[in-house]
Amino acid sequence: MDEEIFCRVRAAYTRIWHGPDAGEVDFGARPVHDALYAAMLESDEWQDILAAGRLCVVDLGAGRGSRLVRQLATRPGVTVVAVDCCLSFGAPNLAFPAGRLVADVRRPPLRDDCADVVVSAYVTVNNALFDTVDARRGYVREIVRLLRPGGLFWGEEPGLLPDEVTSQPGVTDYTGVDWAHVHCFRRA
Ligand SMILES: C[S@@+](CC[C@H](N)C(=O)[O-])C[C@H]1O[C@@H](n2cnc3c(N)ncnc32)[C@H](O)[C@@H]1O
């Protein structure tokens, strides 16, 4: 049943990305939160992360590239791993150079603690795979698994509730920005 829903979600997104309505799901092309990113990137915790010479950013459900990742990818020393379930995601082009991984974001084949930053933008919303609280909590646990201790998560996920994030082991320093559907935390 789960596999069937996954195949349906993947088929629907593949159709959209290759059709005339691709712009509808390309949230990364919209400059709506750029002022928020600029302010956030100036904060001490982000400056600490960015000060590291090399940075691994994992963009979960990347599509053509999440907006914040498009900005991070321009910085020196940043390597991006873009994960999406669509076989030819980013069609026609991913917005930045990245390692592409075709996989289910609920269980990507990436090692524990591999990421300095994980981003997830508009992946869980209107997505039958994340209809239940358990599924959304499981996704947060997977994000925690990918982050190295001290690493940062940036989510723009309208379907996610703050307590579904904060209740998970390893989540610390949570900040939410309601109007932007932002969930940000540090891995303990
Ligand atoms: C609305 S688009 C957003 C894309 C991008 N994050 C942005 O901000 O523009 C959601 C993306 O999540 C991907 N996606 C949804 N469920 C997924 C899953 N279980 N595993 C991998 N990718 C998934 C879809 O294929 C689609 O490309």
Exposure string of 140-159, with b = 16+ CB inside 10 Å and e = fewer, is: bebbbbbbeeebbbbbbbee
Are 96 and 80 within 8 A, CB to CB?
yes
> So what's the pLDDT on residue 90?
66
Are 54 and 77 within 8 A, CB to CB?
yes
Are 83 and 105 within 8 A, CB to CB?
yes
Count of C-beta atoms within a 10 Å radius of residue 85: 22
Which atom, in ligand 1's list, is nearest to the CA of 26? 9
Task: Tell which one of 16, 122, 123 to mutate to probe ligand 1, the residue whose CB is within 8 A of the most ligand atoms.
Answer: 123
| DSSP class per residue in 46-63 | HHHHHHSS-EEEEEET-T
CA of 63 to the centre of ligand 1 (A): 5
Q: Which of 78, 27, 59 is nearest to 154 (CA)?
A: 59
CA of 115 to the centre of ligand 1 (A): 19
CA of 138 to the centre of ligand 1 (A): 17
- Tell me which residue has its CA closest to atom 2 in ligand 1: 25
What's the whole-number mean pLDDT along residues 104-108?
98
C-alpha–C-alpha distance, residues 183 and 97, integer Å: 26
Q: Which residues line ligand 1 (CB under 6 A)?
A: 9, 13, 25-28, 61-63, 66-67, 84-86, 89, 104-106, 121-123, 127, 129
> So what's the pLDDT on residue 175?
96
Characterize the bridge pairing of strands 55-60 and 78-84. Answer: parallel
CA of 163 to the centre of ligand 1 (A): 23
CA of 76 to the centre of ligand 1 (A): 26
Query: Which residue ranges make up each domain of the chain?
Result: 2-187
Q: What is the DSSP-derived secondary structure letter of residue 167?
A: T
C-alpha–C-alpha distance, residues 29 and 165, integer Å: 26
- pLDDT digit string, tens, across residues 157-180: 998 999 999 999 999 999 999 999
- pLDDT digit string, tens, across residues 35-91: 999 999 999 999 999 998 899 999 999 999 999 999 999 999 999 999 999 977 766
Fold annotation for 2-187: Rossmann fold (3.40.50)
Are 60 and 119 within 8 A, CB to CB?
yes
C-alpha–C-alpha distance, residues 73 and 180, integer Å: 22
C-alpha–C-alpha distance, residues 18 and 38, integer Å: 31
